[in-house]
Every structure is written in C-alpha cells, then in structure tokens.
C-alpha cells in the first residue's frame, strides 16, 4: 500500500470522532466512511466533517470494497467480534482498547491476522503519550541505566459512564497501565499474580460478579529479570484521575506526578528534580502535529468523558493514527501488533482471574504466530 492512499472507515462516533480530522489531514489516509447505529448522530458527524459515505450497519460497511481499514471505537464487548469480522472481510483493523474480554477472543484475533496476512493494531494511548515518549527516549539514550522495576496505575471513577461499565472488573480495562510497562520492558508478560482489595457497592457487584474496589497485579516478564506492578480501580475509591507509570533505573528513575498537571520527578541517584515533559509533535508529519495539543474534544462546549478524565490522552491520538497508517504503507508491523496486543490484554484478563482465586499465579498463553 506504499503508493496508495488508504481508505479508512471509523466505527463508533463518540470517542471515535476525535480521530476523524487527524485522518483527514494525514497525507497517506483518506477519511472514507463513518459508521454509527444512531442515524441522527451519524449524519451530524458526517455533515460536520464532510464525509459522504455513511453506514448504520457494520456488516454493510464491511461489504464496501473501497474500505481498506476500519478503526473501531465501539463498546468493549463488541471489539473482538467486530475485529474478527473485519479481518475475515479483508480489512485491516485498528481497535480501541481493550482488544477483547476473553483469552479465547484474543487468540481468535491473532489467528485471523496470521491467516489473512492483514494488520491489527490495538490503539493503546499511553504508549504514545508524551510522558512515555519522554521516558523511552531517556532509556534509549542510556540515561536511566539498567531497568530495575516498573510500576503503573490507572485510577478512575466510572460513575456516569454508560451502564455496561458498571461493576466492570478493574483489570478488564487495564491496558493503560499494562501497556507502558510491557512496552518499556521490551518483553512479553510471562505470568501474573493479582490481589483484589476492598469492596464496591452491592448493586455494582452483581453485574460481573466482581467485588473488588482495587486490583493490584505483579507481572513477571519472559526471558528477563524484570518485573512490574500495576494497580487499577474503577469505583468507590477516592482518588483524582491518574493514568501513570514509574520507571526505576540503575542511574536515574522517573516518577509520575501525584497530582495532575504538576511536574513529574526525575531522581538521579538520590537527588530529585522536577521535570516538565516536552511535547513530541516533532515526531509526526507536519499536517497532524497540532493534534497533540488539541482536537475535537478540547472545547468546553464539546467534551467527552474519556478526553476530560484522560487529560487529552497525553497527545497520543495523532501518534496512533500515524503509526497505523505508516505500518500499512510500509508493510511492517505496528506497535502493538496483534500478538503484542493480546499479551497486554491477557495480562488484565488473567489478573482478574488470579484475584478471584486469591492471588494464584497464572501463566499467559503463548501465541505462536510470531509474524502476527
């Protein structure tokens, strides 16, 4: 697809609308079609962005031979089914997190990618946030020294979100804290052990059978001496929104700020120093650089909960689009690809299972298709 403009269809226009103008400005992409069950919302968005091709039915969209790739932004319970359908219909797939809700669904997506030769990318925001790109740069320059331990947390109050979120096991939506530690480790997670703590409201427990207010998981990485700890909460826990990671190296360490919008801290030996994280728009094509600091949901009159609570997701959205489009154009694997996405997602799925079993150590499945 190197010399071809890639026709993109966005599925789900709540959070998904944020990506429309980015694709429209990317030189190698054509924002070809949108899909939304609510016809009124479909036409409002289509008219606002001048998109001619509009679908209310996902299956009908997949029959359109002009669609090269779909970017799925639907409720989490739809991700796996829609990703598999799209791959089997000959479409490349970018999908918002998480990849799926079961280990078996993750396996089926990886298998579909292997069998079709198509591309899958889980659109994990934190691994393209300015904070992650900053720490990654420090590490690759050797400034952190040897990585000794990784820690991440994602604490969020989900009251007011759509009903399917109510009572969701914390680790079933853990990619924002699992993603950065797996990416920095440069290795697959091998096994997990997770403890649940506290209790959510009784009316929330019944939806998924998950009682815990907080789940905290230790991850051991394959063929590495490195381990990580990730913590996740969704309900009944007093905490400002926090989507964070800490990195402890032999020379320098990075700790995420405790309070949003305050400086993070770099420790050199035992000396701490507050640091302002730079933006990384310079890594992007000029046409989409402005989207690291503003987009569809940056105006007071036009807000989306994920964007408000996530503080704009660290400027990651144009980086995600560029990685997906560039991978297609260059015939290479994106990060995270299907296998890596499955590993990240299965950490959370098995972590919750471990918590329900009192912290039992559970080994992650080995997806054998190395080219997926």
| Stated length of the chain | 372
Q: What's the rounded Cα separation, in Å, for the pair 51 and 44?
A: 10
Q: What is the pLDDT of residue 341?
A: 98
Q: What is the pLDDT of residue 259?
A: 94
**In this predicted model, what pLDDT tens digit does every residue of 327-349 receive, in sequence order?**
999 999 999 999 999 999 999 99
CA dihedral 303, 304, 308, 311 (to 10 degrees): -110
Q: What is the pLDDT of residue 293?
A: 87
Other beta carbons less than 10 A from residue 58's beta carbon: 22
Q: What is the pLDDT of residue 161?
A: 84
Q: What is the pLDDT of residue 304?
A: 42
Q: β-strand 147-155 against 242-249: which pairing, if any?
A: antiparallel
DSSP 8-class letter at 132: H
For residues 72 and 95, the answer to whether their CB atoms sit within 8 Å is yes
Averaged confidence pLDDT in the chain: 93
Q: What's the rounded Cα separation, in Å, for the pair 251 and 227?
A: 18
Cis (ω within 30 of 0) for the bond into 98?
Answer: yes
Whether residue 18 has pLDDT greater than 60: yes
**In this predicted model, what pLDDT tens digit does every residue of 227-248 receive, in sequence order?**
999 999 999 999 999 999 999 9
Q: What is the pLDDT of residue 308?
A: 42
For residues 62 and 86, the answer to whether their CB atoms sit within 8 Å is yes
Q: Is 19 helix (H, G, I), strand (E, B) or coil?
A: helix
**Residue 306: band (very low, low, confident or very high) from pLDDT cuts 50, 70, 90:** very low
Tally of CA atoms within 13 A in the half-sphere of 127 that contains its CB? 27
In which element (H, E) is residue 203 found? helix 202-208
**Which distant-in-sequence residues (6+ apart) come within 8 Å of 237 by Cβ?**
155, 157, 198, 213, 214
Structure token pair of residue 245:
């990671």
Encode 100-115: b = buried (16+ Cβ within 10 Å), e = exposed. bbebebbbbbbbbbbe
**In this predicted model, what pLDDT tens digit does every residue of 74-116 receive, in sequence order?**
999 999 999 999 999 999 999 999 999 999 999 999 999 999 9
Q: What is the pLDDT of residue 1?
A: 57
Integer angstrom CA distances of residue 136 from 91, 133, 245, 349: 31, 5, 12, 26
**In this predicted model, what pLDDT tens digit does every residue of 250-300 receive, in sequence order?**
999 999 999 988 999 999 999 999 999 999 999 999 999 999 987 665 444
Structure token pair of residue 297:
């949901």
For residues 99 and 76, the answer to whether their CB atoms sit within 8 Å is no
**Residue 312: band (very low, low, confident or very high) from pLDDT cuts 50, 70, 90:** low
Q: What radius of gyration do the chain's Cα atoms show?
A: 20
Q: What is the pLDDT of residue 2?
A: 59
Q: β-strand 264-268 against 271-275: which pairing, if any?
A: antiparallel
Whether residue 311 has pLDDT greater than 70: no
Structure token pair of residue 287:
């046409």
Integer angstrom CA distances of residue 277 from 101, 134, 242, 274: 33, 7, 16, 10
Whether residue 366 has pLDDT greater than 90: no
Q: Which of these, 182, 200, 184, 201, lies nearest to 192 by C-alpha position?
A: 182
Q: What is the pLDDT of residue 302?
A: 44
Q: What is the pLDDT of residue 369?
A: 55
Q: What is the pLDDT of residue 159?
A: 85
Q: Which long-range contacts (CB under 8 A, 24 or more apart) does 19-23 make?
A: 19/71, 19/73, 19/317, 19/320, 19/321, 20/45, 20/49, 20/51, 20/296, 21/49, 21/291, 21/295, 21/296, 22/288, 22/291, 22/295, 22/317, 22/318, 22/321, 23/71, 23/321, 23/325
Residue that has been written with the tokens 């402890």 in this structure: 248
**In this predicted model, what pLDDT tens digit does every residue of 168-192 receive, in sequence order?**
999 999 999 999 999 999 999 999 9
Structure token pair of residue 371:
């080219």
């Amino acid at each position: 697809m190197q010399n071809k403009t890639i026709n993109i269809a966005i599925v789900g226009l709540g959070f998904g609308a944020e990506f429309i103008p980015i694709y429209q400005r990317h030189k190698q992409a054509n924002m070809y079609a949108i899909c939304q069950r609510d016809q009124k919302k479909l036409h409002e968005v289509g008219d606002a962005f001048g998109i001619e091709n509009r679908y209310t039915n996902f299956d009908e969209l997949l029959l359109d031979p002009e669609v090269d790739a779909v970017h799925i932004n639907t409720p989490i319970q739809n991700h796996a089914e829609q990703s598999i359908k799209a791959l089997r219909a000959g479409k490349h797939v970018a999908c918002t997190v998480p990849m799926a809700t079961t280990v078996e669904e993750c396996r089926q997506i990886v298998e579909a990618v292997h069998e079709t030769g198509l591309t899958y990318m889980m659109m994990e925001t934190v691994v393209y946030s300015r904070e992650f790109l900053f720490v990654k740069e420090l590490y690759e320059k050797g400034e952190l020294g040897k990585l000794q331990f990784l820690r991440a947390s994602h604490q969020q109050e989900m009251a007011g979100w759509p009903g399917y979120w109510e009572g969701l096991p914390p680790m079933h939506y853990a990619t924002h804290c699992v993603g950065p530690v797996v990416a920095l480790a440069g290795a697959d997670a091998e096994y997990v052990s997770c403890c649940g703590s506290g209790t959510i409201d009784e009316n929330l427990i019944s939806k998924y059978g998950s009682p815990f207010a907080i789940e905290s998981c230790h991850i051991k990485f394959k063929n590495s001496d490195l381990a990580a700890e990730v913590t996740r909460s969704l309900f009944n826990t007093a905490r400002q929104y926090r989507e964070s990671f800490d990195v402890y190296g032999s020379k320098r360490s990075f700790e995420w700020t405790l309070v949003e919008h305050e400086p993070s801290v770099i420790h050199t030996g035992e000396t701490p120093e507050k640091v302002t994280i730079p933006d990384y728009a310079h890594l992007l094509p000029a046409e989409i650089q402005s989207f690291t600091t503003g987009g569809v949901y940056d105006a007071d009159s036009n807000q989306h909960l994920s964007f408000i609570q996530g503080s704009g997701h660290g400027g990651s959205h144009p980086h995600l689009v560029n990685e997906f489009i560039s991978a297609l154009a260059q015939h290479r694997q994106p990060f995270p690809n299907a296998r890596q996405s499955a590993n990240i997602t299965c950490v959370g799925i098995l972590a919750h299972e471990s918590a329900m079993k009192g912290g039992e150590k559970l080994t992650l499945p080995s997806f054998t298709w190395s080219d997926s």
